[in-house]
Amino acid sequence: MSRPVILTGDRTTGPLHIGHYAGSLKNRLALQDSHRQFLLLADTQALTDNADDIGKVRRNVLEVAFDYLAVGIDPAKTTICLQSHLPALAELSMLYLNFVTVARLERNPTIKDEIRARGFGRDIPAGFLCYPAAQAADITAFKATVVPVGEDQAPLIEQCNEIVRRINASAGREVLPEAQALIPEAGRLPGIDGRAKMSKSGGNAIALSAGPDEIRAAVRAMFTDPDHLRVEDPGRVEGNVVFTYLDAFDPDRDEVARLKDRYRRGGLGDSVVKRRLEELLQELLAPIRARRADYAADPGEVLRIVAEGTRAARELTDATKQEVMEALGLFRL
Ligand code: TRP
């Protein structure tokens, strides 16, 4: 039996942070043995809202690759590949755009949210509006059936499957499989300031590459319960970032439950819980940071890993594109 295929990826707009780790990276690590996994360094998708800063997109290709390898993605098991060097993805994107309407793209909740968040209005880059079709091309070119992503990406997988059904209906047979989003149960990790989205540009993230002082400062600055002024006051655990992070990173569930209980009743200071969280994060990130520094010191080796992965991915995605064109009944030369 061949292993089920995973395709997922990240825009190369900045180094990854602990939100990525608690979100999809942990799933990707766990699945690389049982699945045939491909990770896409999504530089062309990054261009859809960063055409004014291509240098940033280029510089972060290797940064994201360092992050993958540092957390334990094993190139012997997982293929890391570069989107802009897989022409079949661009070609399939163009084909798929004929199977989706502008109205449907504009209705996609992920796109809608992002248009609002970035204040694009009608001045939205056309590539950005169309990126759900491009992401469908990414997923289907690998014939992936499992897509580990954060919950914000779920509507993109849904739209991908709609396109797949249209292609299959037009072809009269199942050329492409539908995919399933694999979303972490814990939900998305908020930023250290309590805002829903952790992001480097929002200044509320802890990067996987963060140093000890940075980690300490971030935990110190973390949003807790603004009404919890004195240790003996009862405190709120809901919406309290320190507890949300303990839920995500502390393996000792019973101790977290006890701490929450004490915090709610009063008598537990922020500094005590913060110290516990800081220790956990220091422990989690120290080996990642060390491995990352090793890779960053040898970018030639990482470049080789990405080039090799891209070559393998290119073969596979070219074959799928060929199959889709034939199944749709395009002219054959
Ligand atoms: N949209 C993803 C992000 O914002 C990146 C991505 C590109 C992706 N292509 C993909 C994710 C295909 C899953 C599957 O980071």
Looking at residue 150, its pLDDT comes to: 86
**Does residue 183 have its Cβ closer than 6 Å to ligand 1?**
no
Q: Is 82 in the pocket of ligand 1 (CB under 6 A)?
A: no
d(C-alpha 220, C-alpha 278), whole Å: 9
| Residue-by-residue pLDDT tens, the chain, 333 positions | 689 999 999 999 999 999 999 988 999 999 999 999 999 999 999 999 999 999 999 999 999 999 999 999 999 999 999 999 999 999 999 999 999 999 999 999 999 998 888 888 889 999 999 999 999 999 999 999 999 998 889 999 999 999 999 999 999 999 999 999 999 887 889 999 999 889 888 899 999 999 999 999 999 999 999 999 899 999 999 999 999 999 999 999 999 999 999 999 999 999 999 999 999 999 999 999 999 999 999 999 999 999 999 999 999 999 999 999 999 999 998
Residue to substitute in 5, 7, 10, 163 for testing ligand 1 pocket (most ligand atoms within 8 angstroms of CB):
10
Residue 146's nearest CA partner among 317, 65, 28 is 28
The protein residue whose alpha carbon is closest to atom 3 in ligand 1 is 10
pLDDT at 143 (0 to 100): 98
Residue 9 to residues 177, 214, 292, Cα–Cα distance (Å): 19, 26, 19
Q: How far apart are CA 36 and CA 29, in angstroms?
A: 12
Does ligand 1 lie within 6 Å of residue 150's CB atom?
no
Tokens of 134: 């491009």
Cα(224) to ligand 1 centroid in Å equals 31
Predicted structure pTM score? 0.95
Ligand 1 mutation pick, 149, 182, 317, max ligand atoms within 8 A of CB: 149
- The three-class DSSP label of residue 243 is helix
With a 6 A CB cut-off, is 40 part of the ligand 1 pocket? yes
Q: What is the pLDDT of residue 122?
A: 86
Residue the block writes with tokens 């422990």? 283
User: How far, in Å, CA of 152 to CA of 187, rounded?
Assistant: 10
234 near 227, Cβ under 8 Å? no
Strand partners of residue 333: none
Whether 45 lines ligand 1, by a CB cut-off of 6 Å, is: yes
Tell me, in angstroms, the distance from the centre of ligand 1 to residue 135's CA. 6
Q: How many angstroms from the chain centroid is the CA of residue 197?
A: 12
Helix or strand holding residue 38 (H, E) = strand 36-42
> Measured at the alpha carbon of residue 8, what is the angle toward residues 324 and 87, in degrees to the nearest 5?
45
CB neighbourhood size of 27 (10 A):
18
| Tokens describing residue 206 | 């802890």
Radius of gyration of the chain (CA): 22
Question: Which atom of ligand 1 approaches the CA of 11 most closely?
Answer: 15
Task: Report pLDDT for 310.
Answer: 98
**Residues composing the chain:** 333
How does DSSP assign 123-164, residue by residue?
---HHHHTHHHHHHHHHHHTT-SEEE--GGGHHHHHHHHHHH
Which residue's CA is minimally distant from atom 2 of ligand 1?
A: 10
What is the CA(10)–ligand 1 centre distance, in A?
5
Cα-to-centroid distance, 265 and ligand 1 (Å): 43
Q: Is 138 in the pocket of ligand 1 (CB under 6 A)?
A: yes
CA 36 – CA 4 distance, rounded (Å): 6
Q: Which two tokens stand for residue 129?
A: 């509006």
